[in-house]
Amino acid sequence: MFDETSVDFLAHSSTAKKILQIGNYPPPMCGWAVQTVLLNRELRRRGHISEVLNVNESRKKKSPEYVDVQNGIDFVWKVLWFSTRGYYIHAHVNAESPKLYLLDLVIDIPHGRAYDLR
């Protein structure tokens, strides 16, 4: 279920944030994909610029609802592209996606980003 308190800090900001979410986007419909859709809608409703980099099974299909990912190099290129344009990177990962953890590390280590893996 969507937890409004997870994005409450954005509601008090006087400027819009640019956020790139990396995660599952339907189809197929699953809990992770629903969470990403709902968070994306809420961020946009609050006036932020929010894009989703789809890493789900449908990632190669082009859609106006998300940014497609064709392969690992395309993933790295697109994350770097958004990062250099001032987007905050928000990765939705779980224990079943070791490749995503590795790709996320490749992107975040050069930027000096810290991890909280709780």
CATH number at residue 40: 3.40.50
Task: Give the number of C-alpha atoms closer than 13 A to the C-alpha of residue 79, restricted to the C-beta side.
Answer: 26
Cα 98 to its chain centre, rounded Å, is 16
Cβ contacts of residue 13 below 8 Å, gap of 6+? none
Domain total in the chain: 1
Q: What whole-number percentage of the chain has pLDDT above 90?
A: 42
> What pLDDT, on the 0 to 100 scale, is given for residue 6?
42
Mean predicted confidence (pLDDT) in 12-26: 83
Q: In this structure, is residue 24 part of a structural domain?
A: yes
Give me the domain span that covers residue 27. Answer: 16-111
Q: What whole-number percentage of the chain has pLDDT above 70?
A: 67
Q: In this structure, is residue 76 part of a structural domain?
A: yes
Mean predicted confidence (pLDDT) in 35-63: 94
Give the count of beta carbons closer than 10 Å to the beta carbon of residue 2. Answer: 12
Helix (H) or strand (E) segment spanning residue 90: strand 88-91
Q: In this structure, is residue 1 part of a structural domain?
A: no
Cis bond before residue 27 (omega within 30° of 0): yes
> What pLDDT, on the 0 to 100 scale, is given for residue 40?
95
Beta strands in 3-73 (DSSP E): 18-23, 49-54
